[in-house]
Amino acid sequence: MASLDDLKKRISSVKSTQKITKAMKMVAAAKLRRAQESAEKGRPYSDKMNNIILNLSNGISDIDNAPKLLSGTGEDKVHLCVVMTSDRGLCGGFNTNIIKKAKLYFQKILDEGKTLKIITVGTKGYDQLKRLYGDNIIERISFKESKNVNYFDADKVGKIVIEKFDKKEFDVCAIFYNQFKNVITQIPQEQQIIPLKTSEKDENSSEDNYEFEPEEDEILSNLLPKNISTQIFKAMLENSASEQGSRMSAMDNATRNAGEMVDKLTIEYNRSRQAAITKELIEIISGAESL
């Protein structure tokens, strides 16, 4: 059994940890509100841009002359995966869920005999992938010094992807991130951005007809690179909100668990103290009787 002094030190240590986790929960809650607003505002913009590109692509008569970012290289041999995680930990299963989703995709690609290339955005993703897929990681990017998510960081990643595509280093590119639903739920996402993949929902919802000037292929040549950066920016906004929500939930659980541990240790301390007092009383009474 631990001594009274050890129990007292442990109670003090757990209380200190509880104060830290409670403070982190409050900070995450404050950041979450702003991050959630940014993520929700970014969704309509990225969705509308996808719809405009879909309308433009439908107007192209000769698909062979369409921009390569839209039609692709015509092959499906080399896959580039951009895995977007956080630079900081203590956020529950946020990073693990993204990595788990990405690993399933990696295994599928490798089982089909295709070439896999990985770009990690965020140190936590690199730390979890380097042991199994270290040879496949061609670039690691971190924005640890950036206080808030911004378009310029997303544009840097987008330019790296486009540059590698122009050099014909890959055929298909997909990004992995967490979509924010609420504080408790964040949904891991896999989104193909090169060539642009449109779902059936997008095709059915594209009811607006536009007249474009200049020609569709010329507009797409300028719009598609911006769309890649926009989709990456949207993913970063979703990740930011998901990270703060997951951290808030994790720190709330940690604070609650610390409180329960303090209660148990306090009961154990009181019992040990009572046992020590009882033992001393018995020794005093026994000594008095012997006299």
- Structural domain boundaries in the chain: 4-21+251-290, 37-247
Series of mean pLDDT values for 10-residue runs along the chain (291 residues): 84 94 93 91 87 76 69 87 92 92 94 94 93 92 84 92 92 94 91 75 50 69 88 93 93 94 93 87 82 66
Report residue 205 as tokens. 């919802």
What's the pLDDT at 246?
A: 93
CATH number listed for the domain at residues 37-247: 3.40.1380.10
Residue 73 sits at φ, ψ, to 5 deg, of: -85, -10
99 and 83 in contact (C-beta within 8 Å)? yes
What's the pLDDT at 198?
A: 57
Burial class (CB in 10 A: 0-12, 13-18, 19+), 22: middle
State yes or no: is 81 an active-site residue: no
224 and 68 in contact (C-beta within 8 Å)? no
What's the pLDDT at 205?
A: 46
Beta strands in the chain (DSSP E): 78-84, 115-121, 137-141, 172-180, 186-194
As a whole number of angstroms, the distance between CA 175 and CA 235 comes to 8
- Cβ atoms within 10 A of the Cβ of 159, count? 13
222 and 214 in contact (C-beta within 8 Å)? no
192 and 173 in contact (C-beta within 8 Å)? yes
As a whole number of angstroms, the distance between CA 56 and CA 222 comes to 12
> What is the pTM (predicted TM-score) of this model?
0.84
CA dihedral over 207, 213, 219, 222, signed as positive or negative: negative
As a whole number of angstroms, the distance between CA 235 and CA 93 comes to 17
Closest listed residue to residue 28, CA positions, set 150, 143, 183: 183
What's the pLDDT at 284?
A: 85
What's the pLDDT at 75?
A: 87
As a whole number of angstroms, the distance between CA 146 and CA 254 comes to 27
Looking only at Cα atoms, what is the longest distance across the chain? 113
Q: Which CATH number fits domain 4-21+251-290: 1.20.58.390, 3.40.50.2020, 1.10.287.80, 1.20.1270.10?
A: 1.10.287.80
Burial class (CB in 10 A: 0-12, 13-18, 19+), 145: exposed
Query: Out of 78, 80, 81, 91, which one is annotated catalytic?
Result: 91
